[in-house]
Amino acid sequence: MTAGIPPLTRGIIAWSILLAVVAGGTVALLAIAIARTPVEHTASIVVVPHPDDEFQTWSLVEDTPDEYKIFVSLTRGDETGFCEPDIRETSLQADLGERAPDPDPPGRWTPECMEARQNSLLGYLTQMSESDPTIPGDFGAMTEYTDLPAEGVEICHDDDGVRDCDASLRTARVWKDAAGRGAVVFFDLGDGDLTQDEAAWALQTLIANRDTWGLDPARVGAMIGAFANEGHSCYSYPHPDHVAVHQVLWNVDFGVGPQVGATCFLDPRQRMSAFVSPESAAAAFALGPNGERLGAHGRNYGWLHDDAFPLAGIRQNDLFMSFQSFWVRFN
């Protein structure tokens, strides 16, 4: 604690410094120090705990034609209360263009809830690829890989107090983009109870099986994790699954390039910040004159929120933000 300066005043000072830096045009994306030529073809692995967290990494993902992008969701998002019909009945605003979940889930922790979450992510990427042709979005049939080796790690769910560690959880579902721009990989590690060990198992399994699964074997230039925040001065988000993503990327060196986690600008570990382009921000979150969900996020994920998703700016005071900051490990 800084002696003599009240916490509120310190926060105002910190944000004033940030605003001055941005206004002066000196905030820039610090280059991830990887040895490559400007035209080298690489792969990026985007790690999210749930299928709706992708935009939290978007400033490092958009408009990257030389990167094959693998979007990895470590869970299938099936704990959401919006899979309960009575909640969804009051939250879904189809008249404003929100797409109803497909299939229609009968409740949490159901196969239909998992499939609806997966399909929403595929729809989101497909729509985002319409304005950014570097994003994978032309997906073919899904391939499922089962009975993946445990490698000494117990993969379990704790759903509504019922613990399940069946071998059937060691699966991966893979969708590949027909244009070769990337892929989507879903693991099933338990929404709400993801652990660092489970996340490490999934990422090591993915890295070891890229050839087998038909994914681009290009050198991995970076692994990029979704947002979490446990106490720094921006949007508070200590969700345990998000924290597990941060823990695994911070603590486990996968040996494939820098590992990056979305965080607050005022996180002392923060090393790089960037704005999402106005074009991508609009492609994801644009609203029509009457609140119509024109953007890919609102249209495909709107059923998971009871109002239009807000998009924060430089203050980073909401989960989705156009000014994004990251820490970097194993660079």
At residue 216, the pLDDT reads 97
282: helix, strand or coil: helix
Please name which of 52, 58, 45, 55 lies closest in space to residue 75, comparing C-alpha atoms: 52
The answer to whether 312 and 322 are in contact (CB under 8 A) is yes
Does residue 198 fall inside a structural domain? Answer: yes
Q: What is the pLDDT of residue 18?
A: 57
Note the pLDDT tens digit of each residue in 35-88: 345 679 999 999 999 999 999 999 999 999 999 999 999 999 999 999 999 999
Let me know: does 156 contact 134? Beta carbons within 8 Å.
no
Which DSSP string corresponds to 167-206? GGG--EEEEEBTTSSEEEEE----TT---HHHHHHHHHHH
Q: According to the model, what pLDDT value does residue 49 have?
A: 98
pLDDT of residue 3: 44
331 residues of the chain, pLDDT tens digit each: 444 545 444 454 455 555 544 533 333 344 444 334 567 999 999 999 999 999 999 999 999 999 999 999 999 999 999 999 999 999 999 999 999 999 999 999 999 999 999 999 999 999 999 999 999 999 999 999 999 999 999 999 999 899 999 999 999 999 999 999 999 999 999 999 999 999 999 999 999 999 999 999 999 999 999 999 999 999 999 999 999 999 999 999 999 999 999 999 999 999 999 999 999 999 999 999 999 999 999 999 999 999 999 999 999 999 999 999 999 999 9
- Contacts (Cβ under 8 Å, ≥6 apart) of 299: 97, 98, 99, 123, 127, 293
Q: Would you say residue 316 lies in a domain?
A: yes
**What residues make up the domain containing 53?**
42-329
How many residues in the chain?
Answer: 331
Q: Is residue 7 part of a domain?
A: no
- pLDDT score of 281: 98
> Is 156 part of a structural domain of the chain?
yes
Q: Per the domain annotation, does 55 fall within a domain?
A: yes
Any domain includes 23: no
In a domain, 190, yes or no: yes
Model confidence, pTM: 0.91
Contacts of 316 (CB under 8 A, 6+ apart): 234, 235, 264, 265, 323, 325
From residue 319, give the alpha-carbon distance in Å to each of 52, 122, 216, 277, 322: 11, 21, 31, 17, 10
The reply to whether 67 falls in a domain is yes
Q: What is the CATH number of the domain that holds 174?
A: 3.40.50
Number of folded domains that form the chain: 1
